[in-house]
Amino acid sequence: MTINEANIAIVGATGLVGGKTLEVLAERGHYPEKLSLFASERSAGKRIAFNSREFIVEPLSSAEGKRFDIAIFAAGSAVSREWAPRFAKAGAVVIDKSSAWRDDPECPLVVPQVNEAALDSIPKGIVASPNCSTSGLVIALKPLFDSFGKPRFIFVATYQSVSGAGRGGNEALSRQRAGEDFCGIFPRPIHDNLIPVIGKIDGDGFNEEETKLCSETRKILGMSDLQLTATAVRVPVMVSHSEAVTIVFEDEVTAEKAERALESAPGLRLYRLPDFPTPLEAAGIDDVLVGRIRNTRGDARILSMFISFDNLRRGAATNAVDLMECIARRLF
């Protein structure tokens, strides 16, 4: 069975990630004949055009008792916790974009370019897709680890666009750019500013985004004792996340060797100095852009790089479609 022949559901179809998922499906020539789009009661009844057809968005409650082959959830943790098991029990393989199932040992957390083999076992019928900031990071780390081994430590600083916070993030930046006194979902103004907090801060001083990036990276790479720390920052950019990454290896890893390891890796686009990636260039494409690769002066064991990627595509919708393709190939 191909994706076009499968019975597909998208939950959260009216949101940013749901809409981008439909866009990526169309770009890859996936036009399921049986496609159901679900959203909240508030969004039910909206019409969405896809493949020269018009679909009416259904309330999620109407999915009760229906069977699907694959269901993509892009609707938040509370919805996923309640509804993903129901879809799975009815026979669907669920691809969940929320944080609800990422820490569950019976739900594989998968980026196909990194750990597709984790799909060999899906006990609950639910596959978790990582946080957008994690997706781009692990794609950049995997070829380096394969070539040079497990590092001693990783330092990551993320620069995350407002669209990572959903439509409310886009609205806040747009209205502030227009001169309105409107913070919206953010605790401080984001226009002409940076906010070094994304989510609640725990007792150790780390916010939710930082904690998720570290725990998810360990799980995807299969390195439970990997030492890394993160600082997550919201920036006044509409689309694309960027990350400054510094890796401390056991042995020397020159910038030239690192570039050779990265240049043919799946899902990556390498920028050699003096060229460099930016979030604007990453917007609208699926590749993770990697550049500014360099060693710390006097210590070739320490390697730094800068990455940018479209958080709505590579960080969310593209990974979901990649997973859909893998699951269809494996199970059908």
- The residues assigned a catalytic role are 132, 241
181: burial class by Cβ within 10 Å (0-12, 13-18, 19+)? exposed
The answer to whether the CB of 195 falls within 8 A of the CB of 122 is no
Encoded amino acid at 25, one letter: L
Beta strands 70-73 and 93-96: pairing type? parallel
Encoded amino acid at 104, one letter: D
CA distance 77 to 221: 23
The answer to whether the CB of 16 falls within 8 A of the CB of 43 is no
CA distance 75 to 136: 21
The phi-psi region of residue 214 (left if phi > 0; otherwise alpha if psi is between -120 and 50; otherwise beta) is alpha
User: What is the edge-to-edge ordering of all strands in the sheet holding 70-73?
Assistant: 58-59, 34-39, 7-11, 70-73, 93-96, 126-128
Q: Which of 119, 114, 60, 61 is nearest to 95 (CA)?
A: 119
Q: Which of 40, 28, 24 is nearest to 2 (CA)?
A: 28
CA distance 111 to 128: 9
How many helices and strands, by DSSP H and E, does the chain display? 9, 14
Task: Count Cβ neighbours within 10 Å for each residue of 224-253 and write b for 16 or more, e otherwise.
Answer: eebebebbbbbbbbbbbbbbebbbbbeeeb
- Cite the DSSP H helix spans in the chain: 16-27, 77-89, 112-115, 132-148, 167-177, 208-221, 255-262, 279-282, 318-331
